[in-house]
Chain A
Amino acid sequence: MSNPNMTRDLSADLVKLYRANAHVLADNTGEILNMQRQDALEDFMRLGVPDIKNEDYKYTRIEDYLKGNYDVEFTNDPFKVNLREIFKCDIPELDTHVVLVMNGFYYHDNNLSDLPEGIIVCGLNEASVRYPEIFRQHYGRYARTANDGLIALNTLFAHDGVFVYVPEGQRLDRPLQVINLSFSFRNLRITRRNLIITGDNATCNIILCDHTLSAHSYVTNSLTEVYAGKNARFDFSRMQNENSISSQITHTFIHQEENSVVSSNTISLHGGLIRNNFYSRLNGTGCENNVYGLFLGDDNQHIANYTLINHATPNSTSNQLFKGILDDNATGAFNGKIYVSRNAQKTIAYQKNNNLLLSPTARMNSKPHLEIYADDVKCSHGATIGRLDNEAMFYLRSRGISEKEARQLLMYAFADEIIGKIQVSLLRDRIIDMVDKRLRGELACCSNCDLRFG
């Protein structure tokens, strides 16, 4: 049973935590970050941590994952270690610009000397001080704290993360790979905040990987704001790979101007709780927005995806496709919404969620939702929850393929539709391999991350 007092207590504790450390945050972060904290505080005090009476969180008992004793690092000093010695991404062929982020802090020694002229990649806090004009234009403009306590909470505690700026007409030559590491000797509460600006006619491709590097519990509240200018192309792949006792809440806000194309692809491989919120606003005509996700859950994991695609202007297209495979006692949720405003005529918007349950105790809740105020649109939504196809199993086995291998082939085939949409081919190959191993129940971790404890 949900205890309404619990979220209230948890929320009160978080407010207390903020108040006790407000001066540390203020001393260590730039003015623009600090300017938004007061509103965020008021919003959070009003909204609190969402409970299951909140329609958007009805399938996810978020408070269960957020409560407990956690340390918080308000400053970036505990580790003066060489991160490159602790962590090496073992996709050596992956030709990317790499930046590391540790416990929400941009690593001081990221080497980005070969970025193309004019493109900025740096820590969020640093950017707020060094590039205040650009920063002010975008920071907190897309992530509204008034509607969701967790967004308010992120803005309240925001201190660092990654800042990316690709100016008008520029092109990031190789993908930028952001590796978020969680590493501590105690349980840790982490806040991450990213801001990505792709100017008019600019192109940018970002790969985001999340890893927990020790057997501690991490509760991460991560928020990314993305601006895509006119004709901009932005491609975003995220791999979520955390241990079973960690929880991750992500919010991705995408703001698109005329004729821009933005795709995001989120592969949730592992984690105790994964809750992803996707908000897209198609603010100019002729936009294309694609939101794809694949989630694989077993044990007692809970994976929830929430979307809100807002067609604010005419002639845009959006596609949502989320696919999940759940085994054991894993639970999942999809709560997706397409909103078409009155003047967004000629909108094309699709939403689909397909789920495969492998055990009788796995559970999935799917709630597709359309809200349409324009009259000349083409929209569809659909959800399925099913098991592996017996006929297909028999067919494969009748050719000598073992039951285990046949299941593997069918599960992989199910997942392939999403993986096939990953544009960076080496990353795609790597994810194919990881998903394959994950579906076989083998460790699907990168190099030195251990996922199975806890």
Chain B
Amino acid sequence: MLNIKDLHISIEGREIIKGIDLEVKAGEVHAIMGPNGSGKSTLASALAGRELLEITKGHVTYLGEDLLDMSTEDRAKKGLFLGFQYPVEIPGVSLVNFMKTAVNEQRKFHGLEPISASDFLKLMREKQDLVGLHTKLTNRSVNEGFSGGEKKRNEIFQMAMLNPKLAILDETDSGLDIDALKIVANGVNKLRTKDNATIIITHYQRLLDYIIPDYVHVLYKGKIVKSSGKELALELEEKGYDWIREESK
């Protein structure tokens, strides 16, 4: 599904990602872990198409196509979803209107008619229930006045609404208490099928107690320094990132 080859990314001339290879297949869950500043969020937002990031070298194919050649919105329409670490507040744009526009743009892309009002409401209600997002929030402006946990739930809600093929969740667990974490994880697990894939980016291991990854990668100083099965997360939890720092010296 996603194939990253020797990817290098710079911000304002400074290289952040220094050559990454990664392959994600349908049905898989990958976790990318690493200490602060290792380049996790840069990688995530580059895959979603953030403009300020400069791809200096490498290739990324997504569903057989050149991902780096696509606009941000086309990536999304083809099923790539980024769950933001810091969801943006957009005063004046209601969450309902936002989701309706997004769903319809996606449908248009697939040659479908706009969703009917009643189907849309049904879809909203179903997905809200999945992540426990209160209706009073969906009627508000996007993320405006949402608590940290509500914002993260809202990301999973949007993911559920758009039903992506590849979801990249950037630090979705940060700032969540254990109950919110469970709800978010539960949402992700319910959306998991053999046809879609998830990349979970996290600093801590605890989210991985609830979402069991097939692979764990450790990103350090812009490179993947270790890849293994889910047991790697536990090892990291136990030994801390200093262990990686020691090893990569």
- Residues of A at under 8 Å CB distance from B? 389-392, 394-403, 405-406, 409-410, 412-414, 416-417
Number of A-B residue pairs at CB separation under 8 A:
79
List, in ascending order, chain B residues with CB within 8 A of A392's CB.
88, 90
Please state if B90 and A399 are interface contacts (CB–CB under 8 Å). no
Contact with A along B156-173 (1 / 0, CB 8 A): 001000100000000000
Given the complex of chains A and B, what is the CA–CA distance between A416 and B141 in angstroms? 11
Please state if A400 and B76 are interface contacts (CB–CB under 8 Å). yes
List, in ascending order, chain B residues with CB within 8 A of A413's CB.
90-93, 141
Please state if A399 and B98 are interface contacts (CB–CB under 8 Å). yes
Most B C-beta atoms less than 10 A away, residue of A391, A397, A416, A417: A397
B90 closest partner in A (C-beta)? A392
Please state if B82 and A398 are interface contacts (CB–CB under 8 Å). yes
B77 closest partner in A (C-beta)? A400
A414 closest partner in B (C-beta)? B92
Please state if A403 and B92 are interface contacts (CB–CB under 8 Å). no
Contact with A along B41-72 (1 / 0, CB 8 A): 00000001111000000000000000000011
A-B contacts besides A394-B72, A399-B158, A406-B73, 19 pairs, CB < 8 Å = A389-B88, A392-B88, A392-B90, A394-B88, A395-B90, A395-B142, A397-B71, A397-B76, A398-B75, A398-B76, A399-B81, A400-B76, A400-B102, A400-B162, A409-B97, A409-B101, A410-B90, A413-B90, A413-B92
List 13 A–B pairs whose Cβ atoms lie within 8 Å, in order of A's numbering. Answer: A392-B88, A395-B87, A396-B93, A396-B98, A396-B102, A397-B49, A397-B73, A402-B73, A412-B92, A413-B90, A413-B91, A414-B92, A417-B92
B128 within 8 A of A: no
List, in ascending order, chain B residues with CB within 8 A of A405's CB.
101, 105
Give the distance to chain B from A73, nearest Cβ to Cβ, in Å: 43
Q: How many positions in chain B have a CB within 8 Å of any CB in the partner chain?
A: 30
- Residues of B at under 8 Å CB distance from A? 48-51, 71-73, 75-77, 81-82, 84, 87-88, 90-93, 97-98, 101-102, 105-106, 109, 141-142, 158, 162
B45 closest partner in A (C-beta)? A394
A409 closest partner in B (C-beta)? B93
Please state if A401 and B92 are interface contacts (CB–CB under 8 Å). no
Please state if A403 and B73 are interface contacts (CB–CB under 8 Å). yes
Please state if A400 and B106 are interface contacts (CB–CB under 8 Å). yes
Which of B72, B90, B97 touches A397 (beta carbons < 8 Å)?
B72
Given the complex of chains A and B, what is the CA–CA distance between A391 and B91 in angstroms? 13
Please state if B162 and A398 are interface contacts (CB–CB under 8 Å). no
List, in ascending order, chain B residues with CB within 8 A of A417's CB.
92
B102 closest partner in A (C-beta)? A399
List, in ascending order, chain A residues with CB within 8 A of B48's CB.
394, 398
Consensus secondary structure, chain A interface? helix
Query: Top 10 A-B pairs ranked by shortest CB distance?
Result: A413-B92, A400-B76, A399-B102, A397-B72, A395-B88, A400-B77, A413-B93, A416-B92, A397-B73, A400-B105
Please state if B92 and A400 are interface contacts (CB–CB under 8 Å). no
List, in ascending order, chain B residues with CB within 8 A of A403's CB.
71, 73
List, in ascending order, chain B residues with CB within 8 A of A400's CB.
73, 76-77, 102, 105-106, 109, 162
List, in ascending order, chain A residues with CB within 8 A of B77's CB.
400
List, in ascending order, chain B residues with CB within 8 A of A399's CB.
76, 81, 98, 102, 158, 162
Give the distance to chain B from A402, nearest Cβ to Cβ, in Å: 5
Give the distance to chain A from B9, nearest Cβ to Cβ, in Å: 16
Give the distance to chain A from B15, nearest Cβ to Cβ, in Å: 22
Give the distance to chain A from B89, nearest Cβ to Cβ, in Å: 8
Tell whether A398 pairs with B49 under 8 Å between CB atoms, given A403-B71, A403-B73. yes
Given the complex of chains A and B, what is the CA–CA distance between A413 and B92 in angstroms? 4
Give the distance to chain A from B78, nearest Cβ to Cβ, in Å: 9
Given the complex of chains A and B, what is the CA–CA distance between A392 and B50 in angstroms? 12
List, in ascending order, chain A residues with CB within 8 A of B162's CB.
399-400
Give the distance to chain B from A190, nearest Cβ to Cβ, in Å: 36
List, in ascending order, chain B residues with CB within 8 A of A395's CB.
84, 87-88, 90, 142
List, in ascending order, chain A residues with CB within 8 A of B50's CB.
394
List, in ascending order, chain A residues with CB within 8 A of B142's CB.
395
Give the distance to chain B from A294, nearest Cβ to Cβ, in Å: 12
Give the distance to chain B from A356, nearest Cβ to Cβ, in Å: 12
Give the distance to chain B from A393, nearest Cβ to Cβ, in Å: 9
List, in ascending order, chain B residues with CB within 8 A of A396's CB.
90, 93, 98, 102
Most A C-beta atoms less than 10 A away, residue of B73, B98, B105, B109: B73
